[in-house]
Structure 1
Amino acid sequence: MKLLKLFIALSTMATIAALQLDSYNENSDRQSGLSLSEIQEVASLRGVGRVLAQQNLIANLTCNKFPRICRLKTSPGPDCCNKKCVNVKKDRLNCGMCGYKCKYTEICCKGQCVNVSFDKRNCGGCKKKCKKGEFCVYGMCNYA
């Protein structure tokens, strides 16, 4: 008789736990629709305890689930590539589009891979043009 009561109690607890887990999963699925203001509210750590203040809550949010996270001022860029916020106009590993890598000697300028050692329009860096008739060598105009 005691064994029967124990079995019923355990099965009841297992059923309750399964129902609570199911409702938790439904709530976590709804959280992906957070607005930008709600994300910034999470980022604001005023008035929270010492333990929570030490955690970086924004780092736990990925842009594949929260695409608006890339629009924050502290974000490295407005584009989401491989669960990371990047700027495809400047990022060597995602130049112009996600996953397009520049060669070792190139950098990303305006979403295009350029060799700043020899490019007249980007000599030594992005948007550094050589004067008319000059050429770019080793990142310097008219080096000789």
Structure 2
Amino acid sequence: MFSGAKTSYLLQANLKQNRVKHLIWIIVLVGLFASAALKFNVLFGTNSDINTIIQTLKLPAMISLFGEFTVEKPYTTANVFASEMLIFMGMFMVFMNISLAISNTRTEEETGLLEMIRSRSIGRLAPIYATAIEIF
């Protein structure tokens, strides 16, 4: 038997089981992005404010946190917002993926659900494949 046999069935079950988690994470991420966008124009609305934050973003410590600020002049609030929010959204996506991976692997193993799933005719790696596809 193929080691990933019946992965699609487990993927459907995982998506159905975690649909509330996915919805909550999407709402949190969209809310975070929208609230930051609302405040960003207030914080960096003038050209002097934008130039100040650009100088800050070009410091070595900020480059190590946010990466190289490669936007060409003229700088806008949108450029700065995109540069800063990219890393924050990435961090929150990592938190979301870790929580989903833990709940789909360790929790199933600790509760005995994984043994019940493996007692059926599925591939040995199908639960891991289904979790990886769901996270992706």
TM over 0.5: no
Tell which structure's C-alpha radius of gyration is larger: 1
| TM-score between the two structures when normalised by the length of structure 1 | 0.28
Structure with greater proportional helix content = 2
Which fold has the larger relative contact order, with Cα–Cα distance below 8 Å and residues 6 or more apart in sequence?
A: 2
Structure with greater proportional strand content = 1
| TM-score between the two structures when normalised by the length of structure 2 | 0.29
